[in-house]
């Protein structure tokens, strides 16, 4: 019977002849994969901002621009930093009530419902998911 082995791109866990679990890191992982992950995260952050724009309430454009200013692409956090962003996001109101048919509260959730598959496919493609 072959001892169990768990493998991922980051490394593997094997059972040694002495019966102990040993973690073996893939020393090439960081160089090979880290760049892909960073590129994919940066793409996703930018894509979320762009795709959410038609959903964000807009009078002057300040709320939309606060998302651009509050987000560092690649860090994995899209943040709308206008002082009133939280209230605009969570206060129920009629969709399309603020200068556009899609604009209104819960803009990320509504955008995600339409764009999640596109985001997943893009990240998978850039990060190399399924190809190696």
Q: What is the 3-state secondary structure (H, E, C) of 21-89?
A: EEEEECCCHHHHHHHHHHHHHHHHHHHHHHHHHHHCCCCCCHHHHHHHHHCCCCCCCCCCCCCCHHHHH
Other Cβ atoms within 10 Å of 86 Cβ, number = 10
Let me know the angle formed at the C-alpha of 58 by 53 and 63, rounded to the nearest 5 degrees: 70
User: How many residues are given for the chain?
Assistant: 132
Q: What is the pTM of this model?
A: 0.72
Round the CA-based radius of gyration of the chain to a whole number and report it: 21
Q: Along the 132 residues of the chain, how does pLDDT read in single tens digits?
A: 666 678 877 788 888 888 788 888 787 766 666 678 889 999 999 999 999 999 999 989 999 999 999 999 999 999 999 999 999 999 988 877 667 899 999 999 999 999 999 999 999 999 887 544
């Amino acid at each position: 019977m072959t001892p169990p082995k768990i493998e991922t791109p980051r490394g593997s866990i094997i059972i040694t002849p002495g019966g102990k679990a040993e973690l073996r890191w893939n020393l090439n992982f960081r160089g090979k994969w880290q760049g892909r992950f960073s590129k994919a995260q940066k793409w996703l952050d930018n894509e979320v901002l762009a795709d959410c724009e038609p959903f964000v309430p807009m009078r002057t454009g300040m709320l939309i621009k606060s998302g651009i200013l509050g987000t560092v692409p690649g860090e994995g956090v899209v943040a709308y930093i206008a002082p009133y962003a939280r209230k605009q996001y969570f206060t129920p109101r009629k969709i399309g009530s603020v200068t556009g048919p899609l604009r209104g509260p819960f803009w990320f959730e509504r955008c995600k419902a339409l764009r999640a598959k596109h985001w997943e496919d893009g990240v998978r493609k850039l990060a190399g998911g399924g190809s190696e």
